[in-house]
Amino acid sequence: MTRKSHQSPPPDAPEDDAALFRDAIGPVRELPASELPPAKPRPKAAPRMAQRDEAEAMSEFRRAVTADALEAGDALAYRRDTVPPRTLQRLRRGEFSAQEELDLHWSDARQAEAMLREFLNHARQHGIGCVRIIHGKGLNGDSKHPVLKNLVDRMLRHRADVLAFASAPANQGGTGAVLVLLAAKR
């Protein structure tokens, strides 16, 4: 009996690694096909028409705001219908003395708006009838329109507790300040 330690393929058969592997492991059964991994979700549809309409509306709003915007030398003046015109004239001449003052110099628009709201609420709560708000003339800004002056004008016109306001006389700040008459506390 002869012992062979290693069985070699017949010399005429080519060595096929895959065939040798299949012979070595024996019969196999195929696994069922697995599901494909979930696909990446598609991006949501962008409402481009709505975004364009919104952008156009904002542009139109900005145009409307800047069309009525005050310039550096413009004087502020406003009175409610219930306030006599003579009262506004007296306010322009500085015949009312300001009991409190707020200086908005070096504030950005957001800070100035918050400070102005708080200041007017405080004045109203303490029964103050006339205040001076210094907004500056807006000569140092990048814009043609003074930002703080226009902000003060818009805010004062929309407050129910403001009866009238006018740019201060030259000796009290001129077009860089505004005198404001407030309604009495109820």
- pLDDT, tens digit, for every residue of 107-147? 888 999 999 999 999 999 999 999 999 998 876 665 667 88
Q: Which residues of the chain carry a pLDDT beneath 70?
A: 1-14, 61-72, 139-144, 186
| Alpha-carbon torsion angle 9, 14, 15, 20, nearest 10 | -80
State residue 114 phi and psi, 5-degree precision: -65, -45
Q: For 12-65, give the DSSP string.
A: TSPP-HHHHHHHHH----PPPPPPPPPPPPPPPPP-HHHHHHHHHHHHHHHHHH
Taking the CA atoms of 84, 101, 104 and 126 in sequence, report the sign of the dihedral they define. Answer: negative
Domain assignments of the chain as residue spans, ordered by start: 74-182
Contacts of 69 (CB under 8 A, 6+ apart): 145, 150
pTM of the model: 0.61
> Does the structural domain 74-182 have CATH classification 3.30.1370.110?
yes
The percent of residues above 70 in pLDDT, for the chain, comes to 81
- The rounded distance, in Å, linking the Cα atoms of 53 and 60 is 10
- pLDDT given for residue 167 in this prediction: 92
Q: What is the DSSP letter of 7?
A: -
